Amino acid sequence: MKIVSSLKSVGPGLALVVAIASAAWLMAPVVPVFDRVTLALVIGAAVRGVWGASGRCELGIRIGERQMLSAAIVLMGCQFGAGAISEIGQVLPTVIATIGVTLLAALLIGRWFGLSLRFSLLLGAGNAICGASAIAGVAPGLHADEREIGVAVGVVNLLGTVGMLAVPVLALKCGFGAEESACLIGGSLQAIGQAVAAGYSLGESVGELSTVVKMLRVSLLLPVALLLPLVLRIGDSGSSVGGRRVRGWRSVPWYLVGFVLCAVMASSGAVDSVTDVLGKFAKPALVIAMAAIGLRIDPRVLLRQAPRALVVGALVNGVQIAFLISMLSY
């Protein structure tokens, strides 16, 4: 009975997600403007815009988004050889510098607009690391309340949705090649799904390297989560921040561990037969995840949330992108 009940709860949403992903997979060859990953996102968002949210489908859509995206990220690790892994050492200084500049910009701009230090740091972490996941990771250490978390997540999700369409165009306008475009996309977009979709819109190689750069940013969540409470104590000593502790190693997403393990196995060549087979499932899983993410995009709701926070978030993201472009153009 429990199995039947679970299927009734998640079945409609998962069926809708798979149907949209299947349509994108079949339509992509005849719609040259988008690849399968981007097309699944576009169709999902269009369905949400036309029919709105459905409570009956919500649980299945959420599972499709979170679980399939995590699985796709892990499986994408199987596609990277030694050449891709070596790129990490080359982009690491740029990624670290960009994270530092983004956090500093959030601190200064947020305070200038009258936002609290705590909320400014939430926006900074969301822009600098990995969107909503980073906000959730640093929130306990900053003792943030639910309203602050909700608005910060809404802002970075909206910015990432806009950036997912705008940043690839910006990379082309700057005349960047595949590596520079991937660094700009993977180094600036907030959510993993947004970075992956934007990267693949410029081609397979850009998509793969964008994922590497983005996962490198995600891997820095733990040190940032440990650092920000110290910044809050120094900058806002009059407030009590000692209630909840940083989640420490528990802030590290499991899919990051899986991605690294699969990438190491693939680069070593020790189990090529296994990683080659697993890697072939990465794209279908990613298309399903993008369909689910598209079904959860509703910019109209986000636009109603805290205009001042949206302005600050946009300015911070603008500084982040401008800094990256200057670094990549140097």
- Residue 305: CB partners within 8 Å, gap ≥ 6? 150, 151, 154, 155
Question: How far out from the chain centre does Cα 186 lie?
Answer: 9
What are the pLDDT digits (tens) for 161-199? 889 989 999 999 999 998 999 999 999 998 888 898 899
CB 191 within 8 A of CB 131: yes
> Predicted confidence band at 322 (pLDDT cuts at 50, 70, 90)?
very high
pTM above 0.75, yes or no: no
Residues contacting 53, CB < 8 A, separation 6+ = 298
Q: Considering only CA atoms, which of 155, 115, 116 is closest in space to residue 135?
A: 155
Rounded alpha-carbon distances, angstroms, from residue 218 to 132, 188, 303: 11, 12, 26
- CATH no. for residue 225? 1.20.1530
Whether the pLDDT of residue 101 is over 80: the answer is: yes
CA dist 15 → 24, 39, 93, 282 (Å): 14, 18, 43, 19
For 143-166, write each residue's pLDDT tens digit: 777 667 777 877 887 888 889 989
pLDDT confidence of 298, banded at 50, 70, 90? Answer: low
* 225-271 confidence digits (pLDDT tens): 778 888 877 765 544 334 444 444 555 567 767 877 887 777 776 66
Its domain, for residue 278, covers 2-329
pLDDT at 243 (0 to 100): 41
Banded pLDDT at 43 (limits 50, 70, 90): confident
Of the chain, the percentage scoring pLDDT greater than 90 comes to 23
What ranges in the chain are assigned the alpha helix state H?
2-27, 36-51, 55-76, 82-112, 117-125, 132-142, 146-173, 178-188, 192-200, 204-219, 221-235, 254-268, 272-279, 282-295, 299-303, 307-329
Compute the average pLDDT of residues 59-83. Answer: 75
Q: Which whole number is the average pLDDT over 129-140?
A: 77
Share of the chain above pLDDT 70, in %: 79
Distance from C-alpha of 109 to C-alpha of 123, rounded to nearest angstrom: 11
How many domains does one find in the chain? Answer: 1
Residue 152 CB burial class (10 angstroms; 0-12, 13-18, ≥19):
buried
Q: Which of 5-19, 88-102, 272-286 shows the highest mean pLDDT?
A: 88-102
135 or 26, higher pLDDT:
26
CB 192 within 8 A of CB 162: no
